Amino acid sequence: MHGMSLIVKNITRLVAGFIAIFGIYIVLYGHVSPGGGFAGGVILAGALVLVVLAFGEEFSRRVFPQGVAHASDALGAVGFLLVAVLGYMVGGFFMNFLPRGEPGSLFSAGTIPISNLMIGVKVGAGLFGVFLALALFRRQREGAPESDWVERRGTYGEDT
């Protein structure tokens, strides 16, 4: 997959960071305001997908290769399970073993923000990995459907 036109690239440079920060905010403040790990993780994956679509797969190979996506996915899943198992320290599976704090502040609600973070990492990396698989694996086979893509919808993708 090659990158898109200069306009798309510049707009992506401006916007992608804000999208990522919004995703991180949604993950970290999931226990205070609407949102949560799943929604924030999908937003993070969306930011990465935007960058890959604009700059091409070279970017992903350099900054966020597929192995890292797989590893983060597994790490998030194991981390969430670990939070659940650590509840045995105070009596049972999924027990909230951290102090509750002041409701409404960032550091409150015990283990809930940690679980949110783990789910966010897991969902974001997992969905981005699936997108990479769908977008890149197909291209590696013979017959070059990519050139077909550029031919048919020439205005969408500029071969740079």
Partner 1 sequence: MDPVFWLLVALLGFMLIGSLIAAETRDLLSSVISLGAVGFGTSVAFLLLGAPDLAITQVVVEILVLVVLVRVVITRKDETYTASHSTLAVGSVLLVLGVLVAVMFWMLSGPGEGSLRMRPFGNPLMNEEAPAAAAAPAGRPELATTVTEPRSIGGAYLKHDLEGTPGVNGTGAANYVMGIVLDSRGYDTLGEATVIFTAIVGAYAVLRRKGRKPHARDVADR
Contacts with partner 1, residue ranges (CB under 8 A)? 26, 30-36, 38-39, 42-43, 45-46, 49, 53, 70, 73-74, 77, 80-81, 84, 93-94, 96, 100-101, 103-104, 108-112, 115-116, 119, 122-123, 126-127, 129-131, 133-135, 137-138, 140-141, 145-146, 148-149, 152-153, 156
Six-digit token pair at 126?
A: 């997992």
Our CB check for partner 1 shows the closer of 6 and 106 to be: 106
Would you say 43 and 19 are in contact if contact means Cβ atoms under 8 Å apart? Answer: yes
Number of other CB atoms surrounding residue 98 within 10 Å = 16
| Shortest distance in whole angstroms from residue 10 CB to partner 1 | 20
Tokens 């790490």, residue? Answer: 75
Our CB check for partner 1 shows the closer of 6 and 74 to be: 74
Our CB check for partner 1 shows the closer of 17 and 145 to be: 145
| Shortest distance in whole angstroms from residue 61 CB to partner 1 | 15
Q: How far apart are CA 93 and CA 116, in angstroms?
A: 17
Our CB check for partner 1 shows the closer of 14 and 34 to be: 34
**Hey, what's the torsion of the CAs at 142, 148, 150, 151, to 10 degrees?**
140
Q: How far apart are CA 83 and CA 60, in angstroms?
A: 30
